[in-house]
Amino acid sequence: MAPRVLIGDRDDAARRRTARVLEDSGCFDVCACASDAAGAIAVALAELPDICVIDPALPGGGLAAAWEITSRLPETHVVILTAHESGPELLEAIGIGVSGYLVKDDELDWLPKALLDVGRGSFALPRRLTRHVVQHLRTSAPRRRAIVGPAARLTSREWEVMDLIAGGLTTRQVAEQLTLSPTAVRVHIAAAVRKLGVLSRADAIELFRRRDVQVPEQAASFGS
């Protein structure tokens, strides 16, 4: 069966154009469309598409919709299709867990192949945008440091976020200090709560305040 695709775009003409390109390729079944974030989430949960193509400019927040869909439908690939590329937006989208970040043009004739590659496990990204990812990896804090909690390994970024939250900072303050969006901070907190095996953000904070999470000696030296 052809992969089923949901298109989330606030512009009706853009939704029709994207749907036409995908359906004319003969490779996809466009099962639904949505014009805002809430609608995209609701339709995704109802239709269980294989791929969601989401415009980050969706009313209500395209990246917020992407986060919700990737969290609740881990088997569904979410691809951001934007009219205006942005390095920070790209990095935030990667942190959320999308399967691609693509930039619209007048033709979109390349889109079917890009989505087919996503379905095979590839990450869809124009070559010119890789510089943002490389620059971020070169200038950001080391990512390979990890901490071990109850049957958990947290990434360095998750550790940084939780350590700052446990120190009394708000989500917005953490976002400003680490140059992240509040949404990305919440994603890291949710991941830490899940990995630590606790029931709530408050429980995870308490673990950090009691230092019941340990930094392995080897990992700590790597991150220093």
**Residue ranges per structural domain of the chain:** 4-135, 141-223
Number of H helices, E strands in the chain: 11, 7
**Torsions phi, psi for 129 (to 5 deg):** -90, -5
Q: What is the pLDDT of residue 213?
A: 54
Q: Which CATH architecture has domain 4-135?
A: 3-Layer(aba) Sandwich (3.40)
Q: Determine the average pLDDT of the residues in 181-198.
A: 88
pLDDT digits (tens, 9 = 90+) for 78-133: 999 999 988 889 988 998 999 999 999 888 999 999 999 999 999 999 888 888 78
CATH number of 141-223: 1.10.10.10
Give the predicted TM-score (pTM) of the model: 0.61
pLDDT digits (tens, 9 = 90+) for 36-85: 999 999 999 999 999 999 999 999 999 999 999 999 999 999 999 999 98
CA distance 90 to 95: 9
Q: Comparing 203 with 67, which gets the higher pLDDT? A: 67
Output the CA–CA distances (angstroms, integers) from residue 158 to 73, 154, 178, in the order listed. Answer: 22, 6, 11
